[in-house]
Amino acid sequence: MESVRIPLLGEKVPSFTAKTTHGVINFPDDFKGKWIVLFSHPADFTPVCTTEFVAFQKRFEEFEKLNVQLIGLSIDQVFSHIKWVEWIKEKLGVEIKFPIIADDLGEIAKKFGMIHPGKGTNTVRAVFVIDPEGVLRAILYYPQEAGRNMDEILRLVKALQVADKHKVALPANWPNNELIGDNVIIPPASDEKTAKERLERAARKEIGCYDWWFCYKKIE
């Protein structure tokens, strides 16, 4: 397999036109102004992938509230996608409301590094979180044998949106961090004056600090 450079965090994602279960899309232009969660699955009509699509759809409204467009992808043909979606609705009572890209030639998968030769010829379980400007903000890779945790993907998008809005960082397991709970981390001071001011603010209980380089606060 030829070597292809995948997009890196902070870069614009590759553009492409593709067939989907909702018609042809121009990516990412058709979704400008929205966050995008682009995710690949190994194949239609497989058990783990089916559970993942149901799990994504069960959280569809939560993603919508965050202004997120879900988009699935595999190297199956669009006819397979359509039949699989019909099967999920008929047998499981769940209507998949987001588009699924038919990347039957694997060209999009190559652009995003979704095919890992050591794991076979199908796409692995990749997740790409893209912001409203088309910039890649997060990448997650899972093997074929382990399904994804959609609550973590939701949490990740929320964390990125909070970080952007408030210019802060988010601790481990936010909003349930073991040290600071649902507080957010104030970027470390970059000079002595700011470091001193941080400790003074902490003394006045305006913010919390373990030290000048580890300060945190509540957000509304």
Active site residues: 49
Neighbours of 166 (CB within 10 A): 14
Q: How far apart are CA 9 and CA 173, in angstroms?
A: 21
Peptide bond into 175 cis (omega under 30): yes
Q: How many CB atoms lie within 10 A of CB 95?
A: 11
H runs (alpha helix) in 13-172: 47-58, 60-65, 78-92, 107-111, 150-166
β-bridge partners, 181 = 177
Distant-in-sequence, close-in-space partners of 194: CB < 8 Å, separation ≥ 6: none
CA distances from 47 to 27, 41, 53, 74, 155 (A): 28, 11, 10, 15, 25
- Measured at the CA of 146, the angle between CA 142 and CA 152, to 5 degrees, comes to 65
- Under 8 Å between Cβ of 53 and 97: no
